[in-house]
Amino acid sequence: MDFALTEDQHAYVASARAFSAGVLAPNASTWDAQSIFPKDALRKAGELGFMGLYAPEVSGGLGMSRLDASMIVEELAKGCTATAAFLTIHNMATSMIGKYCTEGVIEQWCPDLVAGTKLASYCLTESGAGSDAASLATRAERDGSDYIVSGSKAFISGAGDTEALVVMLRTGGFGPKGISALLIPADAAGISYGKAEDKMGWNAQPTRSITFDRVRVPVANRLGAEGQGFAIAMEGLDGGRINIGTCSIGTGQQALEEATAYVRERNQFDTAIADFQSTQFKLADMLTELVAARQMVRLAAYKLDAKDFQASTYCAMAKRFATDAGFNVCNNALQLFGGYGYIKEYSVERHVRDTRVHQILEGTNEIMRVIIARRLLIDGALEVIK
């Protein structure tokens, strides 16, 4: 088993690190404080290929493996967690369009999406359908060569500031088999947006509800076959769990580096904080948890790339572990800063706020435990998950 990075992977990481340090990190605090959605930075990311990481090459994307993409996302998250997280959401929606839409729709949308000159939101969650995504109620009724869409979505990243909406909605009966996916232009007649949510973190990307009031959408804008939407959504969530786990690791790594530098400089009782054994033990645990989380996420990404039949279980385990570990590392970093960690002059408090939501989205960590336990209890799976 070879854990060494390839020459290409080293190049991807170096490019992402330079962009993160040069564009994201210097502006992250301002974007957070002023709730600025950095579209210019996202366009610059598109110039480097970061807005179409795993979209198929035939749609203009890089067609990267999820493992390679995760290494890029980790570096971007070190610069700005919220921006890196939105970038992964855009990538998920863009890859769905590039993989499942018709050739005409791909030609119409993907060049701009891959370039970052247009942005995409992914619309699954509803006020009454969070963890239980199969119970969503937003509906599309067939009307000739169109669908008429009515309903609403909640907690949609980028909503109101993006151009494309990949929407999961009901075209059939109750349950997952009645769900389809549509690409809906964000400015289509009948769409309205709620206020930007006042959030604890992720302030560098807007989050709004969306209401669809008899929105007319061509059938040609459907992703895949009618009734295939839930399968597409679940496929996207496996990758999304790798993405959000990766964002947690990248942010945790940044928090650890900041805390390490701080405890070397800060003196108490005529001694550097770094010289206290309690500090050293805390730093050691933080680093160990991050390394373990990173390897688990990369293993899950490898399983997903290999289409392993238990990839979803690995993605759930990686998401649960990495988002818990990433948040804990950020929280412990804040503790090492003491009172200064609670002041916005230092970015560690932002790291804590931005990583907290990772334990909730892409399936709560409680739901991840349900997925893992079910796999464990089916057909003696305890001996299979290795």
Using CA atoms, how far residue 100 sits from 46, 56, 58, 215, 292, in Å, is 21, 10, 12, 21, 35
CA dist., res. 150 & res. 141, Å (int): 9
Whether the Cβ atoms of residue 341 and residue 332 lie closer than 8 Å to each other: no
For the chain, what's the residue count? 386
Catalytic, out of 235, 258, 289, 362: 362
Rounded (to 5) percent helix, strand, coil in the chain: 60, 15, 25
CA dist., res. 255 & res. 350, Å (int): 10
User: Under 8 Å CB-to-CB from 4, ≥6 apart: which residues?
Assistant: none
Whether the Cβ atoms of residue 310 and residue 303 lie closer than 8 Å to each other: yes
CA dist., res. 295 & res. 326, Å (int): 13
Quote the radius of gyration of the chain (alpha carbons, Å). Answer: 21
CA dist., res. 317 & res. 325, Å (int): 12
Residue 362 is a catalytic residue: yes
Residue 336 has which token pair? 């090492």
Using CA atoms, how far residue 72 sits from 109, 246, 315, in Å, is 24, 9, 18
Active site residues: 362
